[in-house]
Amino acid sequence: MLSKHNSIQRDQVEMIALDQLVPENHLVRKMEAAIDFSFIYDLVEETYSAVGRPSIDPVIL
């Protein structure tokens, strides 16, 4: 066997939110509170299609 973990441990799924991974006093949280990133939508509007599969939100990206 290549793994130290048995198959039961590998098959377990853990659900977490990204919000749980970022500490409350992290710089990213301060930037998100201080800067309005909605201007990005206007900058990238021409590069996203209105049809097809949904894309990753450009602000999140």
Question: Of residues 35 and 52, which shows the higher confidence score?
Answer: 35
pLDDT of residue 18: 82
Question: Of residues 59 and 10, which shows the higher confidence score?
Answer: 59
Please give the helix or strand (H or E) that residue 30 lies within, else none.
helix 27-34
**Using one digit for the tens of pLDDT, what is the confidence trace for 12-43?**
788 888 889 999 999 989 998 999 999 999 99
The verdict on residue 39 lying in a domain is: yes
Half-sphere exposure (Cβ direction) of 57: Cα atoms closer than 13 Å: 5
pTM: 0.53
Domains contained in the chain, number: 1
Q: Which domain holds residue 27?
A: 18-47
The verdict on residue 40 lying in a domain is: yes
pLDDT above 80: residue 48: yes
